[in-house]
Amino acid sequence: MAGLQQTNSEMILLSWVRQSTRNYPQVNVINFTSSWSDGLAFNALLHRHRPDLFDWNAVTSQQSPVQRLDHAFSIARQHLGIEKLLDPE
């Protein structure tokens, strides 16, 4: 039963992320692994809720996946108080 509840919670969270990023055509979140590897999903979530923090077009057009992930982690830490728990590499 605990496994079923976790799966349901993950599906709800995945649905929320997909809904939150639907207006970002470069972002296609289908899972919690490979969909995050290019850094776009994390940046899109941040931009969706705090568009004043950075220019979305600058993130998508000029940065590598590692740079985009580093950007997202930095924005989350500096402006939202979310500590960096993963390394972009």
CB burial of 36-57 (b: ≥16 within 10 Å; e: otherwise) equals bebbbbbbbbbbbeeeeebebe
- What is the model's pLDDT at position 87? 62
- What is the model's pLDDT at position 80? 85
Ordered mean pLDDT values, 10 residues apiece, the chain (89 residues): 66 94 94 92 96 95 89 93 69
Q: Provide the whole-model pTM.
A: 0.84
Integer Cα distance of 43 and 20 in angstroms: 11
- What is the model's pLDDT at position 43? 97
Cα angle 63, 89, 67 (rounded to 5 degrees) comes to: 15
- What is the model's pLDDT at position 62? 77
Copy the structure tokens of residue 83. 């500590």
Question: What domains lie within the chain, and their CATH numbers?
Answer: 8-80 (1.10.418.10)
